[in-house]
Amino acid sequence: MYAEERQQNILESARAAGRVEVNALSEALDVTPETVRRDLTILERHGVLRRVHGGAIPVERLGFEPGVEIRTELLVAEKERIAKAAVPHLPDEGTVLIDAGTTTLRLAERLPRDHELTIVTNSLGIATLVAQRPNLSLYLLGGRVRGQTLASVGSWVTDSLKDAFVDVAFIGTNGLSAERGLTTPDQSEAAAKRAMIKAARRSVVLTDHTKIGVDHFSRFADLADIAAVITDDGLDPETAAEIEALGPEVVLA
């Protein structure tokens, strides 16, 4: 097994179990504990694991929020598939709200060139893409910009959305669970997402499977508030069925 394959195996095990132990990995992978520790160090540098005594925990289990640069490099193929599956949920014309996030950014890259759409976003990266497209009209929600996510947040965002109405909102999330609904670490981002969902006729969540089953500090919506959850095929069928029983359609890309 190549080092990259071994590290991917370790990451998948950590996400499935919530934690990995050095000695157990050493036996399972038939390598020395020192090799496992080096692998964990590399994965921590990539921002996907956090080292703890005797092992490691995936960052999504810690409530830790990686920056945009790190998140952009994670699960790229899965995010591309999710964005592709989200395109049919766009109207032929009308107003679309796209929340800040690395998966929603992939959708912005795929916006059809034959649709006349008005795009509302709180993302600097999405706004930069949309502004260059002649078939798209752009409304950028102002406010304080969080360096961690490059998203506008605060009262300027929520006040602007009070009198807005959009056909569909594509929302990102840090956590999604049957017990807690949709959650994110930052209260100001939660408030912005809550206002987005309230302003939308229909809300669609775009999230990779590693966020599902994870809870963060601030809840911004119940699953009953969401029309569809689009994720990748790493989600197990039992959890998908549990989510659907609470309201939203689950689409596996």
Q: Does domain 70-252 have CATH number 3.40.50.1360?
A: yes
> Which of these, 200, 185, 206, lies nearest to 106 by C-alpha position?
206
pLDDT tens per residue across span 116-146: 999 999 999 999 999 999 999 999 999 999 9
Domain ranges of the chain: 3-62, 70-252
Q: What is the mean pLDDT of residues 62-87?
A: 76
Residue 245 CA to residue 60 CA, distance in Å, equals 24
CATH number of 3-62: 1.10.10.10
pLDDT tens per residue across span 166-192: 999 999 999 999 999 999 989 999 999
pLDDT tens per residue across span 235-245: 889 999 999 99
The domains spanning 3-62 and 70-252 adopt the same CATH topology: no
Mean model confidence pLDDT for the chain: 92
Does 60 score more than 80 pLDDT? no
Quote the pLDDT of residue 68. Answer: 60
Residue 239 CA to residue 216 CA, distance in Å, equals 18
Does 71 score more than 80 pLDDT? no
Quote the pLDDT of residue 46. Answer: 78
As a whole-number percent, the residues of the chain with pLDDT over 90 amount to 73
pLDDT tens per residue across span 14-53: 988 888 999 999 999 999 999 999 999 888 877 788 887 7
Residue 118 CA to residue 95 CA, distance in Å, equals 5
> Which of these, 143, 129, 237, lies nearest to 189 by C-alpha position?
143
CB of 171 closer than 8 Å to CB of 206: yes
